[in-house]
Amino acid sequence: MGKTGTLHNMAGQLCGTSYAIQYMDQFTTEPKGEAGDGALFG
């Protein structure tokens, strides 16, 4: 993975240096009805 960004640096300062990169820089959606049975808001 590339260079850490502003959000990662800020989270590292708030949560400690062991903060993992767990966020995405985009949102993914799908049409209603195509979500799996275990969907949170389905």
pTM of this prediction exceeds 0.75: no
pLDDT of residue 14: 82
Residues 22 and 8: their CA atoms lie apart, in Å, by: 9
Residues 19 and 37: their CA atoms lie apart, in Å, by: 31
Q: In terms of residue numbers, what domain contains 12?
A: 1-25
Residues 34 and 41: their CA atoms lie apart, in Å, by: 12
List pLDDT tens digits, range 1-42: 567 778 777 877 887 766 556 656 677 777 766 555 566 665
Structure tokens at 34: 């195509």
Residues 11 and 8: their CA atoms lie apart, in Å, by: 5
Q: What is the count of structural domains for the chain?
A: 1
> For residue 13, what is the DSSP state?
H
31 part of a folded domain: no
- The CA-to-CA distance between both ends of the chain, in Å, stands at 33
17 part of a folded domain: yes
20 part of a folded domain: yes
